[in-house]
Amino acid sequence: MTERQHSETATASVARDEFLRDPASVLRRAETEGPIIIRDSNGNPTAMVSAPRDEPPSVG
C-alpha cells in the first residue's frame, strides 16, 4: 500500500450523494472527526473537506 493509499484509507469518507444531500452536517462532523473524503458511487475520491479548529503553527 502506498503512502497516499494508506493516508486515504485512514481518513473518514462519505458518499458523494450523502454529502450533497446535507453538506452542512458533514462539515460539522469534520470539525470533530477531522478531514472527510467525498467518494463517488464507484468509491473513487473526488474531494476532501476539512474543518480544522486548532491553531496553526506560528511563524518563525
Grid coordinates belonging to 55: 491553531
For 31, list phi and psi in degrees, rounded to 5: -65, -35
User: Is-contact 11 48, C-beta < 8 A?
Assistant: yes
CA distance 20 to 46: 13
27 contacts another protein (rule: CB under 8 A): yes
Q: How near is the Cβ of 24 to another protein at its closest, in Å?
A: 4
53 contacts another protein (rule: CB under 8 A): yes
The residue from 12, 15, 28, 33 that contacts another protein (CB under 8 A) is 28
The residue from 12, 20, 32, 41 that contacts another protein (CB under 8 A) is 20
